[in-house]
Chain A
Amino acid sequence: MAHEHKLEIFRGLWKFKSNTQKIWGVLLFLTIVTAVEVVLGIYKPDAFMHTWLNPMEGGFFATLYNIILSPFIYMKPLNLIFIVLTIVKAYYITWDFMHMRDEKSSLRRMVVWTGVFLICYLIFILLQEGGYVFEVYNTDDALIKRDF
C-alpha cells in the first residue's frame, strides 16, 4: 500500500522533498518553539508581565467586551504566549508525527473536535469554580480564616 504524505507545512510555505526531511524540519521548528518558551520563562520580560487591557465597567456591552477579550484582560501576556505556543507544538506533533495531516478529514474531525469541545468545557467549568471558591475565601466578610 502506498503511503502518501503531504510534504509541506505552514500552508505550503515550507516544502520538503521527502517524509524524512519533513520530520527533521518539524523537529527544528518544535525545538525553536521550546527554546523560545524556555528563554521567556527564564528572563520573564517586563513587557509581558502585566495585562495589556483593563476590564471595562458598567453595562451589558462592557461585560461582553470583558468576556470576549478575557484572555487579554485577565491573563498575563506571558502566560498567554506560553499557552498559544503549547497549542502550536501540540498541532505539529499531532499533524506531522501522528500523521493526522495524511488521514481522512472525517477521522481528523472525529478526534480533534470531540477532544477540543470536551476539554474546553472541562476547563471552563473547573476554572470558573476555582475562581468562585477563591472569592468565597477572600471576601472581606469571609467566614473562613486561613492566615494563622
Chain B
Amino acid sequence: MDTTVANTGTEGKTWGGGNRPLGASYGKLMMWFFIVSDALTFSGFLAAYGFSRFKFIEEWPIADEVFTHVPFLHGQELPMIYVAFMTFILIMSSVTMVLAVDAGHHMNKAKVTIYMFLTIIGGAIFVGSQAWEWATFIQGDYGAVQTKGGNILQFGEKVTVDGEEKFKRISIDEFAVNIAGERATHERKNGLWFVTDDTPLPDYSVEEIYNGLEANPNILVRNQIINEEGEKTILTRDESLRQIKDNGKLVVKGANLVVNEYGTSLFADFFFFITGFHGFHVFSGVVINIIIFFNVILGTYERRGSYEMVEKVGLYWHFVDLVWVFVFTFFYLV
C-alpha cells in the first residue's frame, strides 16, 4: 500500500519527513485532526445547550412530552420510539460502513460496492426521518398561550386512567370560541419594521381562548414550572382563568426560532441548531459516500491498489454516528 497511497517521496528519509511516528497515513491523520476539532465544535454546542438548560433548570420542556409522534401512528403518544429507530438506523449504517472498510482491506470490490450502497441508504433514511421530526415539531400539536413574560401556558383536563389521575392535554382547536370580525393583521405599513408582509395572523386571539376556557369548566392550565414529581405544575381553575386573562399575550402553535409551544423558546432554538448541524453533517456524509461509491464502481481504488479512501470516509461517517449518540442522550433522554 505504501507505493500506492499519496506518497511524498520522503520515504526512508527520517529527517526529511519520512518518519511516521503515529503509524497512520497522511490522509487518515488529517481526518483524525478534523474529527477532534469537529468534536470540540459539537461539544461546544452541547455545553451551551447545558448552560441554557441549567439557567432554566426548573422549567425546561420534558422531551417525552415533546417528541411523542411516530409516522403512520397518528394520535398515539409514543415517546422515544421513533428516535430509537433513527438511532438504530444510524448505528446500522455505521456497521455497513465498517463492513465496507473491511471488504476494502480484502480488495473485494463487489462487497465494498454493496456495503457502501447500504450505508448511503441508511444515511438517507436518517436524514429523511430527521426532516419528518422537524416538520412535526414545527407544526406542533396542542397549541399554547404565551404570557407577557414569555412563559408558556398549556391546556388540559384531569382524567382518571386505570385508577390513576392524569393530565390529558387538550388542543386549543377543541375549545377556542371564534369571535367574528374584530382582528386585523398588523402590517409593515402600520409602522412595524420587523413584520414582513406575509406574517400570518395566529389562528386564535387570546380573547377567543379565554372565552373557550371560561365556557369549559373542566379545562385547566398548566405552567412551565416542574414540581417535585417531575411534572409541570397544574393551576387551579381560578388561577387558570386569571393567568390567561391577565398575562396571556399571544397564541402559539408549534415551534420556530421565535416561539415554542412546548416551553422556553431556547429549547426549540437549540433543537434546530444542534440537530440541524448534525443533520448537515449526515447530509454531507451521504454526499461524500456517494462520490466514493461511484469511485468504487469505476474501479478507481482497484487500480490504485488500496481502498484507503473508503476508510477515511468511514472515519467521518462513524464520527457522525458518535455525535448522534450524544445528541440522542442530551435531547431525548436526560
Q: How many chain-A residues does the 8 Å CB contact rule pick out?
A: 54
In the complex, chain A residues whose CB is within 8 Å of the CB of B88: 31, 34
Contact with A along B93-114 (1 / 0, CB 8 A): 0110111011001000000000
Task: Determine whether the beta carbon of B56 is less than 8 Å from that of A82.
Answer: no
Identity of the chain A residue whose Cβ is nearest the Cβ of B101 in the assembled complex: A99
Identity of the chain B residue whose Cβ is nearest the Cβ of A124 in the assembled complex: B47
- Which B142-157 residues sit within 8 Å CB-CB of chain A? 147-151
Knowing A103-B23, A126-B51, the reply to whether A19 touches B322 (Cβ < 8 A) is no
In the complex, chain A residues whose CB is within 8 Å of the CB of B105: 3, 19
Task: Determine whether the beta carbon of B2 is less than 8 Å from that of A79.
Answer: no
Q: Which of B6-14, B79-87, B210-218 contacts A (4 or more CB under 8 A)?
A: B79-87
In the complex, chain A residues whose CB is within 8 Å of the CB of B333: 37, 41, 79, 82
Task: Determine whether the beta carbon of A86 is less than 8 Å from that of B329.
Answer: yes
Knowing A30-B91, A42-B80, A107-B24, the reply to whether A127 touches B54 (Cβ < 8 A) is yes
Knowing A30-B91, A41-B332, the reply to whether A130 touches B52 (Cβ < 8 A) is yes
Task: Determine whether the beta carbon of A93 is less than 8 Å from that of B94.
Answer: yes
In the complex, chain B residues whose CB is within 8 Å of the CB of A23: 95, 98-99, 102
Most chain B beta carbons < 10 A, residue from A1, A24, A83, A93: A93
Knowing A82-B329, A134-B56, the reply to whether A123 touches B91 (Cβ < 8 A) is no
| A41-B333, A110-B32, A134-B57 given; 4 more Cβ-contact pairs under 8 Å | A34-B87, A41-B64, A97-B318, A107-B24
Write 12 A-B pairs (CB below 8 A) sorted by A numbering: A27-B91, A34-B88, A34-B91, A86-B329, A93-B321, A98-B318, A98-B322, A99-B311, A103-B23, A118-B43, A119-B47, A130-B55
